[in-house]
Amino acid sequence: MPVPIIADPPPFAGGKPQGQPAQQAMTRAERRELQEKQRAAKAALKGQPPQPKESSQGKQSQGTVTTAGQAKAKTPSTPSKKAFAGDIQGSKASTSKDLSLGLVGEDMPPKQLSHGLRIFSHFGQPKPVGHTVKGDIHPAIIRLGLLYSDFKICGANARCIAMLTAFKQVIQDYTTPSHSTISRHLMTHLSPQITHLVSARPMSVTMGNAIRELKLEISAIDIDVIEQDAKESLCLKIDNYIRDRIIIADEVIQELAGKKIKDGDVILTYAKSSVVEKVLLEAQEEGKKFSVIVIDSKPLLEGKILLRSLTSGPNPIPCTYALLPALPSLLTQVTMVLVGAHALFSNGAVYSRAGTAMIAMMAKTNSVPVVVCCETYKFSDGVMVDGFTRNELVPLSVTQKNSRSHDIVPALNLDNLNPLYDLTPPTYITAVVTEVGLIPPSSISSIPLALGKASL
Amino acid sequence: MGDFDIYSAFQRILKNDQISTPLAAIFALTELIENSDGIDLIPLHRSSPAHSHLAGTMFELVKALNDGAEALTKQASNPISLNAGCELFIAFVTLFPHDSANFTDLKKELIRQGQNYAAEALTYRKKIAELAFGFIKDGSVILTHSYSRVVMQTLLLAHKRKRISVFVTEARPRGLGIKTAEVLTAAGVPSTVILDSAVAYVMDKVDFVLVGSEAVVESGGLVNAVGSNQIAIIARAANKPFYALAESYKFHRLFPLSQYDLPSHNSKILSFPHPLPVDIPSTINSLTKQPLPESSTSSNNEPDPIPPRITQEQISENNPDVDYTRSVLLSTSTVRIYNTDVPNDN
């Protein structure tokens, strides 16, 4: 996360990137510079980071990039926005001083990974480029990228809503070039924004689905429509998407899953899912008498947030908080396991926070029903058979922020590996609660057809 | 609704032993529409003219149907298959194209369609019997559970052309299995009643298990007379196929997560009785000595508490009527008849 400083504005500021090949060279130079810097930083691990100079450079570079972008695409960007973006970059630089010490490991390029981790390199090593801005990126997207890479916005729903909201701003601030039409050009304007977000954190299935829907809407714009009208109708479509596929879907799921909670039940949940949280709070609101076991695990310890929200209300739910190793001893008293999902694949497999598969497997062997709450917009038409082919690693910065001091610090022969997700096979799942009803995981693939869609 | 009592109509229809619960519910709701003359008059008496006469009355009709369904569900002992019929019919009424000239015509049309459907549904068992015929090989030994009309029809049809013999469970507490055995024996099918507790004993002699169904639920699982689940588990353990026969009107929008998630489950089922108000040793005494002759217990000079007697009624009261069989225990080919005339909510 603190990388922006170490990552190098100077080349940008120095050489004037105008043509495409020049830019290419520049990025290569950039990379070289970056590695040198990292080496230097490693050598002077305990040394004092040259803070003030870099932070000023950060701001400076931000300025240049924006102007360059303006020159290229003639995007009208108000001064206030520029200031905003600069602000973020500035504050970033100042806050990152304290963290940069422990964070050198993150900047290791993949080739420096130890042998053991090399087989996980396809998970996408946290890239140092998360904060360098290439091309004409809207300030709202830059801001969002930072929030993503810091895990400040985390969770499939939150990320998707935040992205769509940011896109609304991008669309409002967009002007079609004179020689093109909005239906043809807007997507080329949006794709670098998407690329920037993906460089901050790999794209979630939800974001992919929403972007696909957005592309479809953009391509369907009539070329005779006035630009402002087209933009407004797009924003409306985005609002509708958020409302129909996420907000209302969650409400229906709350109702359906709430019906399965009865007096005297003990509900077990893992980590934190926004929709599970709503289901539990809603059931409590209805006066049901049940208790909750929140199982959590390192490195993110998201369960603590859920625990806080369940116990902090006017009538708190009786909760038990435990870490994953305590699962077997607690599972005997559980009547239902309720978990959220990051995505659902068409073979019925649930892609969710790492540890969910273990919970589901143990619950199955104890014949406790496992219920997954998942909106239909999280469905992916792909098939996934294990959590190894595709995954994401928790960046070291986030891990270390959560686990105070006494933690294993990566050394020469020691690396941290924290996959973010795992895959629960359909056999371990009793039911999936969606806004179209409770369905067995084996029938997932028929839902898009039932909704009258050729694809999601 | 007025003086029309839907439950008595339902009971009257159910007396015909060819009509199953969901169909009886559909017939009863059709009668409800016939007797709903009062309903469509209400908008005329309204002070404010209803701007959409048809919609208003449709709304009230559907409301009356929902109320009727609720009244039925409340009074019936086992609401699951009843609900399936009610839901099917109400979904049909709601989705029915409203292109009749006036509401009276529409109602007539609805009644006609409802009766047509129910009449046609009576032929489903024959279709199922023909479809299931292919599953039954000559010389098969079949295990069935309790009494099911569709299973009876299937077995009797199979008997016409193939040699079959049937084991049937007694199905306590109602003992409906005895009825199955009697009918089959009368038709010339060799059949034996076995105890519910002897299913595992007999399983190795059986070629496959064939049961009817109370409802087929969204998980693909089966709700049927209690005991079906344990038969399915034993069949799976012995690697014997387990087939369920279900008419399409038994498909139900329900997703039970476990046995205790069924709508028929209530707190009375499997409840523990209040302990007797005596000190514990004497309770144990009276319980353990109960099988012995009465005289031996009267050695105590204290006035004896009435020794607890457990009657068949108490047992059946504390026990479920139906249980839920998970879909994985069913063999893949549950014989189903789909019907396209009526919107099927599955």
Measured in degrees and rounded to the nearest 5, phi and psi for residue B79 equal -80, -5
Least confident of A203-217, A229-243, B175-189, B317-331: B317-331
DSSP secondary structure of A170-210: HHHT----TTS-HHHHHHHHHHHHHHHHHHHSPPPHHHHHH
Q: How far apart are CA B75 and CA A257, in angstroms?
A: 27
Split at pLDDT 50, 70, 90, the class of B47 is very low
The CATH architecture assigned to B6-37+54-124 reads Up-down Bundle (1.20)
pLDDT for A356 equals 95
Q: What is the pLDDT of residues A46-89, one digit of tens each?
A: 544 444 444 444 444 444 444 444 444 444 444 444 444 444 44
Q: What is the pLDDT of residues A4-31, one digit of tens each?
A: 444 344 444 444 444 444 445 556 666 6
Residues 156-215 (B) with a CB less than 8 A from some CB of A: none
pLDDT for A417 equals 81
Residue of B nearest to A441 (CA): B219
The single-letter DSSP state of residue A318 is P
pLDDT for A327 equals 94
* Cα–Cα nearest to A242, from A160, A145, A341: A160
Q: Is B332 on the interface with A (CB under 8 A)?
A: no
pLDDT for B199 equals 96
Would you list the domain boundaries of chain B?
Answer: 6-37+54-124, 135-256+319-329
Residues 44-73 (A) with a CB less than 8 A from some CB of B: none
In chain B, pLDDT over 90 holds for what percent of residues? 32
Q: What is the pLDDT of residues B131-143, one digit of tens each?
A: 889 889 999 999 9
Q: Are A322 and A293 in contact (CB under 8 A)?
A: yes
* Cα–Cα nearest to A352, from A288, A290, A302, A416: A302
Output the average pLDDT for chain B: 80
The residue ranking higher by pLDDT, B310 or B323, is: B323
Identify which of B219, B258, B261 has the shortest CB distance to residue A440: B219
Q: Are B162 and B137 in contact (CB under 8 A)?
A: yes
Residue of B nearest to A256 (CA): B255
B7: tokens are 């439950």
What residues of B are in contact with residue A431 (Cβ under 8 Å)?
219, 255, 257
The single-letter DSSP state of residue A86 is H
What residues of A are in contact with residue B219 (Cβ under 8 Å)?
430-431, 438, 440
The residue ranking higher by pLDDT, A135 or B110, is: B110
Asked whether the predicted pLDDT for residue A304 surpasses 90, the reply is yes
> Residues B13-35: what's their mean pLDDT?
85
Q: Is B265 on the interface with A (CB under 8 A)?
A: no
Q: What is the pLDDT of residues A163-184, one digit of tens each?
A: 999 999 999 999 888 888 888 8
Asked whether the predicted pLDDT for residue B288 surpasses 60, the reply is no
Asked whether the predicted pLDDT for residue B299 surpasses 80, the reply is no
Q: How far apart are CA B342 and CA B336, in angstroms?
A: 15
Among A260, A372, A446, pick the best mutation site for testing chain B contact (most B Cβ within 10 A).
A260
Pairwise CB contact (< 8 Å): A336 & B255: no
Pick the CATH number of B135-256+319-329 from 3.40.50.1220, 3.30.70.380, 3.40.50.10470, 1.10.1760.20: 3.40.50.10470
* Cα–Cα nearest to A218, from A253, A183, A267: A183
The residue ranking higher by pLDDT, A133 or A240, is: A240
User: Which residue type, as a one-letter code, is found at position A186?
Assistant: L
CATH of domain A260-451: 3.40.50.10470
Identify which of A369, A371, A439 has the shortest CB distance to residue B218: A439
Residues 356-415 (A) with a CB less than 8 A from some CB of B: 369, 371
Identify which of B219, B255, B257 has the shortest CB distance to residue A336: B257
Q: What is the pLDDT of residues A367-396, one digit of tens each?
A: 999 999 999 999 988 899 888 888 888 877
Would you list the domain boundaries of chain A?
Answer: 139-248, 260-451
How much is the pTM? Answer: 0.75
B307: tokens are 């020794």
Pairwise CB contact (< 8 Å): B257 & A371: yes
> Residues A267-295: what's their mean pLDDT?
95
Asked whether the predicted pLDDT for residue B194 surpasses 90, the reply is yes
Residue of A nearest to B265 (CA): A262
User: Which residue type, as a one-letter code, is found at position A288?
Assistant: K
Pairwise CB contact (< 8 Å): B255 & A442: no
Asked whether the predicted pLDDT for residue A102 surpasses 70, the reply is no
> Residues B174-183: what's their mean pLDDT?
93
Among A255, A259, A430, pick the best mutation site for testing chain B contact (most B Cβ within 10 A).
A430
pLDDT for A17 equals 42
Measured in degrees and rounded to the nearest 5, phi and psi for residue B192 equal -130, 135
Cross-strand pairs, B191: B166
DSSP secondary structure of B232-272: HHHHHHTT--EEEEE-GGGB-S---SSGGGSTT--TTTTPP
Q: What is the pLDDT of residues B54-76, one digit of tens each?
A: 445 678 888 888 888 888 888 87
The residue ranking higher by pLDDT, B89 or B306, is: B89
Pairwise CB contact (< 8 Å): B257 & A430: yes
What's the sign of the alpha-carbon dihedral B7, B9, B13, B19? negative
pLDDT for A348 equals 92
What residues of B are in contact with residue A438 (Cβ under 8 Å)?
218-219, 255
Output the average pLDDT for chain A: 78
Q: How far apart are CA B240 and CA B124, in angstroms?
A: 26
Residue of B nearest to A440 (CA): B219
> Residues A280-306: what's their mean pLDDT?
93
